């Protein structure tokens, strides 16, 4: 069996690259095919034509057919495909070694790396030796280089496609796990806060009911008073918990952002302190930071995120896919409402590194503005 690491992802990448390579290459080089067949001896022209047509069809259909193949069958198919290309070169002459681009491209799209290296090395060595024996090594050297470089390029493109899909899946999983962890934390805290109080209230209410049934009104009043006190205490605990969730700390949010970006494999450039930020703006800026970083992790495909803080502004920039034509979601609308409440605005646009830059600034007089060159300037 061939190694099966990343087989499913490799299939997805190959279905994108290989059909385009095989079909486009064959169509563009139809004149070259006809010219090659025109130089074949009349006795071999028929077999060479049939072999060329079968080789071309196999290259174009290789990836769709390979989806239902086992790893062993896929490997045998690729080896037969390369052998057919080599046979065609043998019939039409070494000058037509360019036809092996299709076969080697299919190998690069479907096979593990070590198979690609072995097959490409064997084909390149065989062509070089044959050209040397025919005294045409200098003429065929460029063809050999093209074969090796194109095969390596196709293999790299397929692997990059795999890596991108795996990275996107990992980012989605990180975002989903963060939501699950937050829900678990809320459930745990509410259980710890309310569990004991509600249990005690239930017991006290039962005692009050039984006291009323037996005519012990004084005991019933006492138990009902305890129920009221416990209920008020539980209500205060719930309000305190909810308030803690909503009263976001900018310093704590920075720490959480650093952990989130690190878990998602995104480089971070974050401030080390929030002391320069106006105290009454730290809560609002914490929400801005959370929303922007969440979007960067889930949607932008960014490789790095930069956060800058000023006395009355915060700026978050990533190097992801950008925001051109993207509609505003509920998160950004909510940020605009929060900034409007403190007389500020939110601006979203392309970043200096091609991604997205979100700048939130409160309208409190003069603010420091980050310039395009990375410096700062005072703005009224």
pLDDT computed for residue 314 by the predictor:
92
Of the residues 140, 168, 196, which one is the last residue of a structural domain? Answer: 168
Mean pLDDT of 198-218: 83
Please give the Cα distance from 124 to 94 (Å, whole number): 12
Predicted confidence (pLDDT) at residue 89 exceeds the cutoff of 80:
no
265: phi > 0 → left, psi -120 to 50 → alpha, else beta; which?
left
Is 1 contained in some domain?
no
Q: What angle do CA 324, 326, 332 make, to 5 degrees?
A: 115
- The CATH number for 356's domain is 3.30.565.10
Bridge-partner residues for 346, per DSSP?
Answer: 360
Band (pLDDT 50/70/90 cuts) for residue 380 is very low
Total domains present in the chain: 3
Of the residues 112, 147, 168, which one is the last residue of a structural domain? Answer: 168
In sequence order, which residues have a C-beta less than 8 Å from that of residue 278 and are 6 or more positions away? 311, 312, 362, 364
In sequence order, which residues have a C-beta less than 8 Å from that of residue 51 and are 6 or more positions away? 84, 87, 88, 91
pLDDT computed for residue 207 by the predictor:
84
Do 201 and 322 sit in the same domain of this protein?
no
Q: pTM to 2 decimals?
A: 0.43
Do 12 and 160 sit in the same domain of this protein?
yes
Mean pLDDT of 68-86: 82
With residues binned 3-state (H G I as helix, E B as strand, rest as coil), the percentages for the chain, rounded to 5, are 70, 10, 20
Residue span of the structural domain in which 214 resides:
175-246
Alpha-helical (H) ranges within 134-278 are 137-214, 217-246, 250-263
Q: What angle do CA 213, 217, 221 make, to 5 degrees?
A: 115
Predicted confidence (pLDDT) at residue 5 exceeds the cutoff of 50:
no
Please name which of 347, 244, 357 lies closest in space to residue 295, comparing C-alpha atoms: 357
Please name which of 165, 129, 147, 113 lies closest in space to residue 2, comparing C-alpha atoms: 113
Band (pLDDT 50/70/90 cuts) for residue 367 is very low
Predicted confidence (pLDDT) at residue 377 exceeds the cutoff of 50:
no
Do 94 and 12 sit in the same domain of this protein?
yes
pLDDT computed for residue 172 by the predictor:
82
Greater confidence (92 vs 188) lies with 92
Query: Alpha-carbon torsion 6, 23, 86, 74, what sign?
Result: positive
Do 270 and 359 sit in the same domain of this protein?
yes
Do 210 and 292 sit in the same domain of this protein?
no
Least confident of 217-231, 268-282, 318-332, 366-380: 366-380
């Amino acid at each position: 069996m061939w190694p099966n690491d990343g087989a499913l992802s490799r299939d997805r990448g190959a279905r994108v690259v290989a059909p385009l390579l095989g079909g486009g290459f064959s169509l563009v080089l139809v004149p070259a095919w006809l010219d090659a067949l025109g130089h074949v001896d009349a006795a071999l022209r028929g077999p060479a034509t049939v072999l060329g047509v079968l080789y071309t069809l196999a290259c174009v259909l290789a990836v769709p057919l390979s989806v239902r193949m086992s790893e062993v069958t896929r490997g045998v198919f690729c080896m037969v495909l390369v052998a057919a290309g080599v046979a065609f070169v043998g019939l039409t002459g070494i000058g037509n070694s360019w036809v092996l681009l299709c076969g080697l491209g299919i190998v690069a799209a479907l096979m593990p790396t070590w198979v690609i290296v072995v097959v490409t090395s064997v084909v390149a060595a065989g062509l070089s030796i044959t050209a040397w024996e025919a005294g045409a090594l200098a003429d065929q050297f460029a063809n050999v280089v093209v074969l090796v470089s194109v095969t390596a390029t196709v293999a790299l493109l397929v692997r990059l496609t795999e890596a991108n899909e795996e990275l996107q899946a990992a980012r989605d999983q990180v975002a989903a796990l963060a939501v699950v962890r937050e829900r678990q934390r809320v459930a745990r805290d509410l259980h710890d806060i309310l569990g004991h109080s509600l249990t005690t209230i239930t017991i006290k209410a039962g005692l009050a009911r039984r006291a009323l049934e037996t005519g012990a009104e004084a005991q019933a009043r006492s138990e009902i008073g305890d129920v009221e006190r416990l209920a008020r205490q539980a209500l205060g605990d719930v309000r305190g918990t909810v308030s803690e969730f909503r009263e976001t700390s900018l310093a704590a949010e920075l720490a959480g952002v650093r952990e989130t970006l690190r878990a998602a494999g995104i480089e971070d450039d974050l401030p080390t302190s929030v002391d320069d930020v106006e105290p009454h703006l730290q809560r609002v800026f914490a929400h801005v930071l959370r929303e922007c970083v969440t979007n960067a992790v889930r949607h932008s495909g960014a490789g790095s995120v930069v956060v800058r803080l000023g006395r009355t502004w915060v700026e978050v920039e990533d190097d992801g896919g950008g925001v051109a034509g993207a509609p505003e979601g509920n998160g950004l609308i909510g940020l605009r409402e929060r900034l409007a409440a403190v007389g500020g605005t939110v601006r979203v646009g392309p970043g200096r590194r091609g991604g997205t830059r979100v700048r939130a600034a409160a309208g409190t007089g003069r603010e420091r503005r980050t310039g395009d060159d990375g410096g700062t300037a005072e703005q009224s």
